[in-house]
Structure 1
Amino acid sequence: MPTLSRYFIKTGMLYLIAGLAMTLAMFLQPLLGWSPVLQAFYPVYLHFIFVGWVTQIIMGVAYWMFPKKSKEDPRGNPLWGWAVYVCLNVGLLLRAVGEPTMAVNPASGWGWTLTLAAALMLAAGWIFVCISWNRVKER
């Protein structure tokens, strides 16, 4: 298994753990009288589960298992794969900070984090498509 695939898969599992922990905290919040601010993490929870876990696992396995481009260059330039990994994860972490901050205090000036997060995750998606497209082929 390529190193990059291991990073995608293990990081995806960490997002799953974080997402499940958020679910538990949001569930327990009304029962234990914790601050309602925890509910501001709902969009972060969704992003951690669907982008951080599901999408990242898919990308890691696809990078590993898709047919090789060629014997000399099996997966293309690995720097593009690492660019996907970095863009996706920096975008998710910016979203994890910006989303609840803007929900609790819209005048905080942190709206730029959501714009940058969206741009980074969009870039990750497009780069992934570009580096994977030629590997999807007939036998």
Structure 2
Amino acid sequence: MPTLTRWLVKTSLIMLIAGLALGVYLHLPGVSTAALFPLYLHLLTFGWLTQLILGIALWMLPKYTLEQPRGDERLNWLIYICLNLGLGLRVLFEPLPPTALPPWRGLGLVAAALLQWLAGMLFILQAWPRVKGR
């Protein structure tokens, strides 16, 4: 299993633990879910599911070339960095009240979304040429 795939899968499992723990916390009596529910969804969808899918896809898709079977490894690592940096910004800024830290909260959430979008676009760039017929 390639190193990047191991990193993506292991990080996805850590995000699954974090997301499930947050889910348990959200079901405790007296806990307000309004501020934390979007973070819960991001941890499970982008943190766990998306990273797991990306890691396995980068490993299992047909080879790009014999010299670069998974495409440009630097871009693949950039996908990992962008996705997790975006998730980190979500963890920092999502739970804050909308009026907290103006304008930093809004800028942080926009930066998080842009980083996650960039990770998706880079993955498409890397995966597209590998999806080919026989």
Question: Which sections of structure 1, spanning at least 5 residues, go unmatched?
Answer: none
Q: CA deviation at 1:107?
A: 3.9
Bigger helix share: 1
Q: Which amino acid in structure 2 is aligned with residue 16 of structure 1?
A: L
Q: Deviations over 1:58-115 (max 9, x none)?
A: 00000000000121221111000000000000001101111111xx252422211101
Distance 1:88 1:105 in 2: 23
Q: Deviations over 1:29-60 (max 9, x none)?
A: x2xx45x3x54111000000011111110000
The count of aligned residue pairs is 132
Q: Percent identical across equivalent pairs?
A: 46
Distance 2:133 2:108 in 1: 41
Q: Which amino acid in structure 2 is aligned with residue 12 of structure 1?
A: S
Distance 1:72 1:117 in 2: 33
Q: Say whether residues 1:129 and 2:124 are aligned partners.
A: yes
Residue 3 of structure 1 corresponds to which residue in structure 2? 3
Distance 2:131 2:15 in 1: 28
Moved over 3 A (4+): none
Distance 1:22 1:39 in 2: 13
Q: Say whether residues 1:86 and 2:75 are aligned partners.
A: no
Contact 1:26–1:39, Cα closer than 8 Å, also in 2: no
Residue 75 of structure 1 corresponds to which residue in structure 2? 70
Distance 2:87 2:50 in 1: 12
Q: Which amino acid in structure 1 is aligned with residue 6 of structure 2?
A: R
Question: Which sections of structure 2, spanning at least 5 residues, go unmatched?
Answer: none
Q: Which amino acid in structure 1 is aligned with residue 113 of structure 2?
A: A
Q: Say whether residues 1:108 and 2:93 are aligned partners.
A: no
For the residue of structure 2 that corresponds to 1:74, the secondary structure is: coil
TM (normalized to structure 1)?
Answer: 0.90
